[in-house]
Amino acid sequence: MKTSVRFSLFCTLLLAGSPAGALGHLRVRRASSVATVSTTIIAPALSRPLPCALGTTAFSQPAESLEEFLRRMREKRDSVHRELEPEVARLISALESAAPDSDEFKALESSLFGLGTEAVPLLVPWIDPGTSPTTGTLRRADAIAKHLAQAELTSALPELEQLAEHASQRGRAKTIQLLGNSRLPAAAGSILRSLLTQPSTTKSLRKHVFHGLIRLGGQSNWDPAIETLSLRKAGDAAYIDIILHAFSEVEPAAIHAPVRRLLAKQDEAPTHLSAIFDYFEAAPHLFDYETAKLTIELLSSPKLTPSASAELLLRLPKLHPDRGTPEWRDLLEPLTYGSSQARRDGALICMSRLGDRGARKRLLQPFDDRIKETGKSSSSLSARGATYIQLEEYDSALRDFKRAIENTRSSTLKQDNWIQVAWVYCLQGKLSRASSALEDANLTSVMQRQLAGDERFAQLLLHERYGRVLRD
């Protein structure tokens, strides 16, 4: 890098309040260059005394005030930016017109991002696609935001702050995400926290702000989110789920106590129970008995639909390592006698997976009796097979689905059961057998497309060889 450019960058970072960053850019890789860097870069910057900064006036020449020094550095920085602006504008315009993923587009990206760190403040405004974005401006904004996510942003903080406050909604969202993913917890956190006090920050943007603050880390950045978990202000509930998800990715233990207090709120907690489960699945060691008690009490709340309650009950065993303890049985037993069939079955499946043999027998007995009465009917076997899947007893499920295929002449029922067989094989990670089962199902092209979009077969679809059954 030329001496003048390196010196300009040093000044830019110093003016942005990052002396450590400024000095970092003076480092060289070869020991032989140290003397050159010291005499051509550091010496010009510090050749005049800065009493306020250095605490001394022991220099032979007259002292230059800090204000004069900073003014001179700003002029130097602005001069560099004026030189770069026309080239940045030209490349941006060409980038918006180029076809995506083309060689031209990649070459323009390389030229634009090859301008170096001096150009970062000039690139920042272009992550805003505008209030009426076109395909070109959206593509340009995405490309620049992706590049800046890997860049040193210290010198561009003033531009980022301006954009976070006054850009279009898309531009503000991109800027907030950029700040939240930066390595500047203090400076970026200050900007993001200020956005929470501004009326122009919409609900959608506030979600990005909370997520960014939590990712940045530090108690001062976490405090607004932790305060929101208390639900003291109207509208706080809208941000609970995003806060729980963000902390589960970063530091779950930081909000264990607030989450416990949230669970005790019988009126508000049911709405957020799915996100609370996500949080504890990321940190199952925090799911102690008292937490379990509060959670299970909420599963019978009238504010939670029976199907939602049953779905959460199936997730409950993942949170408790001590399977089959009497305490769990005592907490779950009342749910097995409720008015809702879905909730009763969910509780019995949960207890069975926790090792309660009595609950497993109660769950399967109606299916066993029906199969005996109907002479191994295909529909009864299929229903019991589906229950075995929920119990995670996959070999038993396969036996029932294959017997159901043998015991029916209906091509539709055969096809349905072959699809179930394929799903079980996917759950077991046996993709070759899953592919064979779908071939036996004689899928139509319409069904192929439907199953290709079914998340149960996502792993199979990605396999180069075995996924062909859903692609060809």
- Please write the tens of the pLDDT for every residue from 133-166: 999 999 999 999 999 999 999 989 999 999 999 9
Q: Could you tell me if 266 and 298 are in contact, meaning their C-beta atoms sit under 8 angstroms apart?
A: yes
Q: Could you tell me if 344 and 335 are in contact, meaning their C-beta atoms sit under 8 angstroms apart?
A: yes
- Please write the tens of the pLDDT for every residue from 379-419: 999 999 999 999 999 999 999 999 999 999 999 999 999 99
pTM of the model: 0.77
Position 195 pLDDT exceeds 80: yes
Instruction: Average the pLDDT over 189-200 and give the result.
Output: 96
Q: Give residue 64's pLDDT.
A: 76
The token pair at 13 is 């970072």
Q: Give residue 321's pLDDT.
A: 59
Please give the DSSP secondary-structure letter assigned to residue 218: S
Residues with Cβ < 8 Å from 62, sequence gap 6 or more?
none
Helix (H) or strand (E) holding 444: none
Q: Give residue 62's pLDDT.
A: 64
Q: Tell me how far apart the alpha carbons of residues 144 and 96 are, in angstroms, rounded to a whole number.
A: 11
Other residues' Cβ atoms within 10 Å of the Cβ of residue 68: 12
Q: Tell me how far apart the alpha carbons of residues 215 and 210 are, in angstroms, rounded to a whole number.
A: 9
Q: Give residue 15's pLDDT.
A: 52
Binned at pLDDT 50, 70 and 90, residue 39 comes out as: very low
Q: Give residue 35's pLDDT.
A: 34
- Please write the tens of the pLDDT for every residue from 355-373: 899 999 999 999 999 999 8
The token pair at 288 is 């102690």
- Please write the tens of the pLDDT for every residue from 240-297: 999 999 999 999 999 999 999 999 998 999 999 999 999 999 999 899 888 989 999 9
Instruction: Average the pLDDT over 188-199 and give the result.
Output: 96
Mark residue 101 as left, alpha or beta (left: phi above 0; alpha: psi -120 to 50; beta: remaining). left
Binned at pLDDT 50, 70 and 90, residue 346 comes out as: very high
* Average pLDDT across the chain, whole number: 86
Which of 20-24, 273-277, 318-322, 411-415 is predicted with the least confidence, judged by mean pLDDT? 20-24
Q: Give residue 295's pLDDT.
A: 93
Query: 100: burial class by Cβ within 10 Å (0-12, 13-18, 19+)?
Result: exposed
Domain boundaries, the chain: 248-355
Instruction: Average the pLDDT over 89-100 and give the result.
Output: 93
Q: Tell me how far apart the alpha carbons of residues 388 and 428 are, in angstroms, rounded to a whole number.
A: 13
Other residues' Cβ atoms within 10 Å of the Cβ of residue 10: 23
- DSSP string for 43-104: HHHHSS--HHHHS----SSPPPPHHHHHHHHHHHHHHHHHHHHHHHHHHHHHHHHSPTTSHH
Binned at pLDDT 50, 70 and 90, residue 11 comes out as: low
| Residue matched to tokens 């990670």 | 429
Diameter of the chain measured on Cα atoms: 107
Instruction: Average the pLDDT over 25-29 and give the result.
Output: 39
Q: Give residue 24's pLDDT.
A: 45
